[in-house]
Amino acid sequence: MNNNSSKTKQDLEQIFQVSLQHKPSYFQIRFIGIANNGKEVIRLDKTNETVVLSNDLQEKGDTEYFNEGIKMNKGEFYFSQINLNEEHGLISEPYTPTLRAASPVFNVKNEKLGIVVINVDLTQFFKTLKKISGTELEFYLIDSQGQYLFANNNNLVCDFGMIYYPLGF
């Protein structure tokens, strides 16, 4: 991506597409460049098992996952807090509990070009926790601020920004 060659871009699009097709919980993969306030350069989305290349590229320079991901060193990964997915600053529907994994991308001169971000849908993970939790076993998932992200008792689960989303199902 150093000189935005179309071959490099096509190769990345292909890798992103294959990854989305073969990872059921992945629903979005992006390369976000440093330039233009962290504008997405490549973005693929998966909806109902269909993977599409998006032309609706957004600036993500103000997001925590961009700012933290860009600080990582070569080979390091940043994992976001779990929250509901947003598009254009609004929580998207259907509500999707999302974990973002980000890692920086470097050119051959070891200059940081941007980050790759993978959005992971945690819906199935929470359903699995609910299924294996029972009368004899209880699971709790609590974030670093002490908010319950999963609990057998939905009254304990956080509201994810004013919208109650019972992750415990």
Termini Cα distance of the chain: 42
Query: What pLDDT is recorded for position 91?
Result: 87
Task: Report the chain (169 residues): mean pLDDT per 10 consecutive residues.
Answer: 74 96 97 96 95 95 96 97 88 90 96 97 88 78 82 64 44
Residue type, 82: I
Query: What pLDDT is recorded for position 3?
Result: 52
- Partners of 168 in beta bridges: none
Please give the domain boundaries of the chain with CATH numbers for all domains.
6-121 (3.30.450.20), 123-169 (no CATH)
Query: What pLDDT is recorded for position 4?
Result: 58
**DSSP label at 130?**
H
Q: Is 13 left (phi over 0), alpha (psi -120 to 50) or beta?
A: alpha
- Partners of 116 in beta bridges: 31, 103
Query: What pLDDT is recorded for position 86?
Result: 87
Prediction pTM value = 0.87
- Partners of 59 in beta bridges: 39
Query: What pLDDT is recorded for position 154?
Result: 65
Sign of CA dihedral 16, 94, 115, 23: negative
Cα-based angle 116, 33, 123 (whole degrees, multiple of 5): 35
DSSP string across 82-118: PEE-EETTEE-SS--EEEEEEEEEE-TT--EEEEEEE
Query: What pLDDT is recorded for position 161?
Result: 44
Contacts of 132 (CB under 8 A, 6+ apart): 139
CA pair distance 113, 148, nearest whole angstrom: 36
